Structure 1
Amino acid sequence: MKISAQAFITRVRTALAFRFNLNADQHGFDDIDQSIRDGIEIRGTNLWVLMLAIFIASIGLDVNSTAVIIGAMLISPLMGPIMAIGYGAGINDYELIKKALGNLLVCILIGLFTSTLYFLISPLSTAQSELLARTTPTIWDVLIALFGGLAGIIASTRKEKTNIIPGVAIATALMPPLCTAGYGIANGSMDIFFGAFFLFLINCIFIAFATLLLVSYIDPPHKRFVSEAVGRKVKRYIYAVVFATVLPSIYLAYGMVTREVFLSRANEYIKKELVFENGFIAKQSISADERLIDITLVGQKVSDERLIELSKKLEIYRMPNAKLIVHQTVIKELDETRLSKTLLTEVLNSTQQTFDVKNSQLADLQNELAKLRAQQGKQNDYLQEQKKIFDELVAQYPQIEKLSIAKTNEYQTKPAAASTVLLLNLTSKKSLSREDRRKINAWLKVRTGVDQVKLSINMH
């Protein structure tokens, strides 16, 4: 069965209309209108929550904590007045716009006062990366605010509430730039203040503009009648504000992209072209704003002709009007291979010296251990010899019960001399005669090889 081209196109349109239909789960217009009007007021609870959120976001920026900043954005009530401005412009309700603008102004003043107060009393003064990231708005911030605002107003018009609104609050990041502006005031930095406040205004304007676009699309019945002249005048004002916001953002984005491209090309140029056989780059500096590549070379001198040739190659890497500056620290006959070998030799020598010291210490310890073992062996032999002497004496004189024996040195002053003396202390059941004592003394001299024996006998 053949389908005509017209029927095919009709089917495609029907399928697309079904898929992209915003009316399917849309809330009633009265409910949408009431919900947006209820979110305008910043007083009482909302005001306290705003101040607390400002404090939390300021602390997050101060300590460079992304998680804390996200938490502050989730509880912030800033989205209400901003969306109400776009909604009021969409239904020509200028009283609603005035009321929403008044509440937004209160939010801005409270936010600036609270964040300035915090940064004035905070002991931390260094601008962290999370804070500095909010000082240079670009066209990407415009797009984020526009798409985020569209997602936010779509979610606000749905029957079923989802996590879209919190996600929009995080993506569009209204709180951080407002707090960063307070940091700029507290530290007297107008560059930071104006950059951050401009980012905050971008988010506000394009969230409101996105709301206006969707409200114009769904065309609620709450539109108020105004003359065509007034309508055209209001639209001109709106578009003038939008373009006045977009153009500086495009300019800043162009500058940022240009800098990133220059840095990328400069690094590629340095990596591929500034390679020298007998020298190396000790320091490099790239300035995208001045279109300048500044390097410091260490090694053999590079000729002026070679430097001119390298400068000409900048155009090959699509960096016209860039300038190469080379500072040279000349070291004659720099040989990287020899230098590497020398360094390796020094490391090995140092390691060998440490190894030799440890080996020497180990050898000393082994010698000491050998001496101790030898002394222990001699001591064991000496004790065994004493036991034999005791056994032999008991065999000759059964009345002997105990024996204490020690070999020592004896020193004399007159005449000055030193001799080895064997000291014995016997314990006997019966007394030993003088002859027995003489025999024991003579036997011990022969048995031990000591010339002097001093014998002491105790009776049991």
Structure 2
Amino acid sequence: MFDSLFNFINLHNGEEKKEKVLENVISNISFRGSNLWILACAIIIASIGLNVNSTAVIIGAMLISPLMGPIVGAGFALGTYNFPLLKKSIKNLLIATIVSLTVSSFYFYLSPFKDVQSELLSRTSPNIYDVMIAFFGGLVGIIAITRVEKGNPIPGVAIATALMPPLCTAGFGLATSNFSYFFGAFYLYIINCFFICIATFFMVKYLKYPSVIIDKKYEKRIRYGITTLIVVMIVPSFYLAYNLFNEKKFIKTAEQFIQKEFDNNGYTIIYKKINYNSSPKSIDVAFLNKKFTASEIASYNKMLISNGLADTKFNVRQSSDNVKLEILNEINKSNVNISTKDIAISKLRQELDDYKISDSTLLQEIKAIYPSVNNISYGKVEEYPKTDSAKLRFVLLYSGKTPDKAQFKNWLEIRLHEKNVKLIEDSEE
């Protein structure tokens, strides 16, 4: 039973010849000619995607990027103690990194749009989850590379490990002199490169690829070095993940406080801003009609500690003459980018409003004034009066007899504020 289970999960099943795998890995390391051009084009596409906040464009850039080659090569070199191959992989990775930073910085420097979009901002604060994505993505990648049938995982690995967006974000940081963005994004890029390489190293050792040198001393040093680097890379990411957890917890607690003290008491909030990164942390709100005295605001500040919001200041925006302008500016900043989906929805709603007849009493009035009219159906239809352009016309379909059809039509036009109402008598009953 155990033998059959082991055989079921055995990675040696379907494995490509080691010589051929190594040959393919080495051939994808170098950045010369076409590879360099493909990389530059992919960087520009990813930068445009970050600039216009398009996830689809960013994914496309990741799919065509050749950055995985030297990283996987470095992992193979470490796993087989092939130091010339390691040197070559690192050299080509440095070339690719410098070219990528140069191209992305140049693009963002020339781009008239310097706004920080959500896609770009998400690459500036890496944490332990990014480490896990890079490691397991790297595992999938190296497993696929060592198979006879490569299958579909390779494109997915390129998307999951996300090497391009952090590099482009780092280029944005350089172009705009925002070095906090640069260091945060570049750290994410290093995390991705390193843990893809480490995943490759472990898989190469597991699949028992032959070593170039067999020296226990060198092997021990490499393992110590890798362990040290793993700790050095992981510790900051744990700190950032812990900080992210605290920020999410603070925002959730602040939202609960606002709901309990204000929303549940019927106060209409027109502005709300929760700032975790200020010192002290702050909660700013503005109300539609309610005015608070200084003593009331002070009492709310005292409530913060008992509600789990220590080292936090509660502010009510109400006294300043420019508070409305400030609130509008904040709202405009958060809504500066209206997606094409929102525009399309707004356009469709407008078109539906042209056809919509929101008059709940019309049918009752017709039946009261003209009781002989029944089986009534009405609405607006497009009419093409001997031209290519359409105009909307109110049409009413009915059965029965009216005392005066012209009078009925005239009454409807006045009642609905519509010109040229069309009446159609349905003779089929």
TM-score, L = length of structure 2: 0.69
* Counterpart selection for 1:182 from 162, 168, 171: 171
Q: Using the alignment, how far apart are the partners of 1:161 and 1:289 within structure 2?
A: 46
Partner of 2:159: 170
Aligned residue runs from structure 1 range 67-106, under 5 A: 67-106=56-95
Partner of 1:319: 309
* Counterpart selection for 2:247 from 230, 249, 259: 259
Note the C-alpha offset of 1:152: 0.2
Note the C-alpha offset of 1:234: 1.8
Rate the CA distance shift 1:18–1:52 in 2: closer, same or farther, 3 A: same
> One-letter code of the match for 2:28?
G
Partner of 1:233: 221
Note the C-alpha offset of 1:257: 1.6
Matched, 1:294 2:284: yes
Partner of 1:30: 19
Contact 1:292 1:322 in 2 (8 A): yes
Partner of 1:193: 182
SS of equivalent residue, structure 1 residue 41: coil
Unpaired runs of at least 5, structure 2: 320-409, 415-429
Partner of 2:112: 123
Q: Using the alignment, how far apart are the partners of 2:308 and 2:8 within structure 1?
A: 46
Seq. identity, %: 42
Matched, 1:247 2:239: no
Rate the CA distance shift 1:117–1:326 in 2: closer, same or farther, 3 A: closer
Matched, 1:269 2:248: no
Matched, 1:49 2:49: no
Greater C-alpha Rg = 1
Q: Using the alignment, how far apart are the partners of 2:214 and 2:123 within structure 1?
A: 39
Note the C-alpha offset of 1:328: 5.9
> One-letter code of the match for 1:92?
Y
Note the C-alpha offset of 1:121: 2.1
Note the C-alpha offset of 1:325: 3.6
Over aligned residues, Cα RMSD in angstroms?
A: 2.7
Rate the CA distance shift 1:282–1:21 in 2: closer, same or farther, 3 A: same
Contact 1:298 1:328 in 2 (8 A): no
Unpaired runs of at least 5, structure 1: 1-10, 330-361, 367-460
> One-letter code of the match for 2:111?
S
Contact 1:292 1:324 in 2 (8 A): yes
- Which string of whole-angstrom CA distances, capped at 9 and with x for unpartnered residues, describes residues 364-398 of structure 1? x99xxxxxxxxxxxxxxxxxxxxxxxxxxxxxxxx
Q: Using the alignment, how far apart are the partners of 1:120 and 1:275 within structure 2?
A: 45
152-161 vs 246-255, greater mean Cα deviation: 246-255
The alignment covers a number of residue pairs equal to 322
Contact 2:82 2:213 in 1 (8 A): no
> One-letter code of the match for 1:198?
Y
Q: Using the alignment, how far apart are the partners of 2:292 and 2:116 within structure 1?
A: 42
SS of equivalent residue, structure 2 residue 271: strand
SS of equivalent residue, structure 1 residue 314: helix
Q: Using the alignment, how far apart are the partners of 1:257 and 1:274 within structure 2?
A: 26
Rate the CA distance shift 1:312–1:79 in 2: closer, same or farther, 3 A: same
Partner of 1:62: 51
Matched, 1:146 2:138: no
Rate the CA distance shift 1:227–1:286 in 2: closer, same or farther, 3 A: same
Rate the CA distance shift 1:292–1:66 in 2: closer, same or farther, 3 A: same
> One-letter code of the match for 1:128?
Q
> One-letter code of the match for 2:130?
D
Contact 1:278 1:299 in 2 (8 A): no
> One-letter code of the match for 2:246?
T
